[in-house]
Amino acid sequence: MAEIIDGKAVGDDVAATVKRLTAELVAGGGPTPGLAVVIVGEDPASQVYVASKSKKAKECGFHSVQHTLPADTSQADLLKLIGDLNADTAIHGILVQLPLPKHIDAGLVIQTIAPEKDVDGFHFINVGKLGTGELATAFVPCTPAGSMLLIERVRGRDLSGLNAVVVGRSNIVGKPMANLLLAANCTVTIAHSKTKDLPAVARAADILVAAVGRPEMIRGDWVKPGATVIDVGINRIPAPEKGEGKTRLVGDVAYAEAAKVAGAITPVPGGVGPMTIAMLMANTLSSAYISAGKPRPKF
């Protein structure tokens, strides 16, 4: 059976480091890291995410601010708020919770956030830095950054010569994940729904990252024996065994099958999920360190 990669334990370790370094920064006369979270509308899932982000920020000793705006907020008003947060020296990280209401151009909103406060790593400047290997100054999207940390805990930081396959090509996970693996000297293939003979491509991977958003699409016989499998998917499927109308969470990988073959694997839940919020805290701390003229911490 595969080693189970405990994302909660690693995420807690990252958060503990963030808390310690925050205390050190403040004790040395530096700024308290400030995170502003903006949510527009009443989407229940977004409310849960935002609450957990704000809670974790407070646990880390951050200055945590939440702006909850009504669903009919105009794009102009939202852009003005972001402009104010860009100018606020007490704020080091700005996160606009997606999805936004349909009348607001999410792309425009994200590009309005100052790149040095873009702790989600979605601004074109940060995307470009990651794509050109400027990892020392880029903010990397939190989910791929967390996934990379989990891979490093199993495989070490130098992944030279390993074959990595990323299934999924989104701007949020697939593409940045591929760039991180390239920077670690992997040979990287990005596969997707149009890839010919996807099982054979996946089977060549020493490191297999699943980020397609399709429940249990990647079967056990797609996994190379001994491979490290990182399952980014979070899908809710019916669970009649729990009772009528009940559901359960599964990843993009058929976990029970893959765990028999893989060398190490992330569970769902409890794998990549906890890392996303932990890396958001790490990015915000890094922004505060940079604003204080200090080298950014390594995780």
H/E element, 22: helix 7-27
Which residue type does 216 have? E
**Distance between CA atoms of residues 41 and 19, nearest Å:** 31
Q: How many Cα neighbours within 13 Å face the side chain of 237?
A: 15
Supply the Cα-derived Rg of the chain in whole angstroms. 19
Per the annotation, the verdict on 252 as an active-site residue is no
Sequence-distant (≥ 6) Cβ neighbours of residue 44 within 8 angstroms: none
Cβ atoms of residues 165 and 14 within 8 Å: no
Dmax over CA atoms of the chain, in Å, equals 57
Strands 34-40 and 93-96: parallel
User: CA-CA distances (angstroms) from residue 222 to 120, 174, 181, 219, 269?
Assistant: 31, 18, 20, 5, 21
Among the options 56, 97, 118, 129, which is catalytic?
Answer: 97
Q: Exactly one of 56, 117, 118, 120 is catalytic; which is it?
A: 120
Q: How far apart are CA 15 and CA 57, in angstroms?
A: 9
- Strands (E) located in the chain: 3-4, 34-40, 63-69, 93-96, 163-167, 187-191, 207-210, 228-231, 235-238, 247-250, 264-265
Q: Is 75 considered catalytic here?
A: no
Active-site residues: which are they?
53, 97, 120
